[in-house]
Every structure is written in C-alpha cells, then in structure tokens.
Amino acid sequence: MHLELIKLEKTFKPSILTKIDDPLLDQYQIKLWIKRDDLLHPIISGNKWRKLKYTLDHALSEGADTLISMGGAYSNHLHALAYVSKALGLKTIGLVRGEQPETLTPTLSDLQNWGMVLKFVSRFDYRLLRQYKGCYDLPGLKPRQYWLPEGGAQALALKGVAELVNEIDVAYDILCVPCGTGATLAGIIDMVPDQVSVMGFAALKNAEFLQTDVESLLPRPCSNWQINMDYHFGGFAKTSAELMTFMADFEFKTGIPLEPVYTGKMIYAIYNLITKHTFKPGQRIIAVHTGGLQGKRGFNA
C-alpha cells in the first residue's frame, strides 16, 4: 500500500466491539455486539473508508490526480472521498444527484470547502451514470482522471471490508449490516467463516436489485446470506416517529450514536426480529455500525 495511505490510517482509532447490556436481550437469550466502525475517524467514517482504501491505493498506482464519483446531497461516500482525497493531495469532482439547491446542504458545503468540484446532474442522467462500474468507464474521462461508481461499490472495495471481519475476535453466529449498494455486505459475505450467516438490511424501498448486485460483486457463489427488505420505513432516508424514538432510547441506554438512514433502521430491525423470536436462544449477533453520522445533519430541521 502507498505510504500516504499507511500514514493516514495510522491516525485512525480502532473499531472496537461494544457489547450491549440490555435486559431485553437477556430475556430472549441473545448476545449482541456492535462493531464500531463509526469510531474509525470523525469524517472518513465507517464502511466508506473500508471501501475506499484499496481503491485509492489503486488510483495512486495508476498515477491518477483527479478522482470523480457520484452521490446524493447528503452522500457519506462523497464526503469521505472529498476529505481523504484532499489529505492525499488529489483533486475531486462530485456528480451530485438533482438540481443545485439554493443553499447547499451541510454535506455539500463540506465537499466544496475540501475542494471538490460539484456538478449537479438530473435524476435521469444520474441513473444512467450507474452503468459505469470500472475506473475508466465514464465517458469523456481525461488522462489521470479516475472514476469511482456510486458508493465506491466495485471489486476492490471488498478487500477493505474483509479487514473489518478479520478484526472480530469473539465467536458469533450472525453478522448484520445495513445495505445501500450492497458492496459492504458482499465484502462481509466473502470473508466470514462458513458457519456464520450474514443478514443485510436494505435502506431503500424496492431494493430487490440488491440480490443480483451483491451476487455479481461476489467472487464466488455463496449461500450463507440474505437481505431483509422489511425495514426501510417508507424509503431511503425516510423516517418515522417510532424509529426516531427507538434511536433516541438506544443512544441513551448505550451511549452509541446512530443515524436514521442506515444504522438506526438496522438496529431497530434487529430488536424487532428478536422480539419476534427470529433468532434462536443462545445466538450471538454482531451488528456493524457503518458510521455515516455526518448524514444526521439532514435530520435536525
């Protein structure tokens, strides 16, 4: 790995396992740990660093000086990419979904402050951009420009995600993770021991596409996984009073901050499934906190 990346990673905090003490878990004889990727770095948090690490290394090897990617107005991926690229001395261009808002979202203004050039693209054109997966696939790419697909979801992302699985030093039966593009899920499926089942929780409505997307990211066929589509709360970034109350209660009890787009929905789902006896007594669950707390700023209003 390039020295700049090794140096940067040295400044990161460890992603510990936090065991959750909760009488409800005792009642159903379930053990639950949270894998705290939210603690890695205040900005390049969670799974975005895991997914970017080896992609950035590849971009540096290729001699890239500009990284181009796509995301929404609250994108954790663009946020991590802009910050880390600035730290590495790389230029960035962000293709942002939808019209330019009159006042930039906190995420977009961070991107701009870190030197990312923002180009707003219509929802229609944004969808078309999803077909370009490879680092040189984007039409019109100039020399030394390097393309990252939405969410940084491509084969190299899996290698970084695998590292989070290797850090887990307790025995467990089930590994849970929230899903957007499914790249983090794919990296986990590829690395867990055979006897572990992996559960993804879709953050989007109509996320059936995830099944084939994850299959195509996996380097080999695997059967130890499933994606739960029942806890999207009406769609991507949609919330409910019940979800917000649950999150506030969980944060109060455990001191672990959640955000409502991904991690809040997953933890809600796990608790809900526990009370529905979906898990067997004695089962040990690890839920990956994928970070993304900056995106919470979209929900303060």
Least separation in angstroms between CB 291 and ligand PLP: 5
Give yes or no for residue 184 binding ligand PLP (CB under 6 A). yes
Q: Does 260 bind ligand PLP (CB under 6 A)?
A: no
| Pairing relationship of beta strands 174-179 and 145-147 according to DSSP bridges | unpaired
Counting contacts by CB under 6 A, is residue 55 touching ligand PLP?
Answer: no
Q: What residues between 56 and 95 interact with ligand PLP by CB under 6 A? A: 76-77
Q: Tell me how far, at minimum, the Cβ of 50 lies from ligand PLP, in Å.
A: 9
Q: Which residue from 71, 72, 260, 292 is in contact with ligand PLP, where contact means CB under 6 A? A: 292
> Strands across the sheet with 284-289, in order?
17-19, 31-36, 284-289, 174-179, 197-202, 225-228
Does 160 engage in binding with ligand PLP (CB under 6 A)? Answer: no
Instruction: Using the minimum distance from each CB to ligand PLP, give the nearer residue, 28 or 82.
Output: 82
Which of 111, 153, 227, 270: binder of ligand PLP (CB under 6 A)? Answer: 153
- Burial letters for 44-72: b for 16+ Cβ neighbours within 10 Å, e otherwise? bbbbbbbbbbbbbbbbbeeebebbbbbbb
- Cβ atoms of 17 and 286 closer than 8 Å: yes
- Assess 46 for contact with ligand PLP (CB under 6 A): yes
Q: Which is nearer to ligand PLP, 29 or 206 (CB)?
A: 206
Sign of CA dihedral 120, 123, 124, 125: positive
Q: Residue 287 is encoded by which pair of tokens?
A: 């839920």
- When asked if residue 182 is in the footprint of ligand PLP (CB under 6 A), the reply is yes
Alpha carbon 227 to chain centroid, angstroms: 15
Task: Determine which residue in the list 34, 84, 179, 286 makes contact with ligand PLP, applying CB under 6 A.
Answer: 179
CA-closest candidate to residue 187, choices 17, 285, 53 = 53
Element (H, E) at 84: helix 76-88
Please give the distance of CA 77 from its chain centroid, rounded to a whole number.
8
Region of 20-28, 178-186, 216-224, 244-252 interacting with ligand PLP (CB under 6 A): 178-186
149 binds ligand PLP (CB under 6 A): no
Q: Among 11-19, 27-35, 164-172, 285-293, which window interacts with ligand PLP (CB under 6 A)?
A: 285-293
- Binding of ligand PLP at residue 264 (CB under 6 A)? no
> At 97, which helix (H) or strand (E)?
strand 91-97
Give residues in contact with ligand PLP (CB under 6 A).
46-48, 76-77, 151, 153, 178-185, 262-263, 290-292
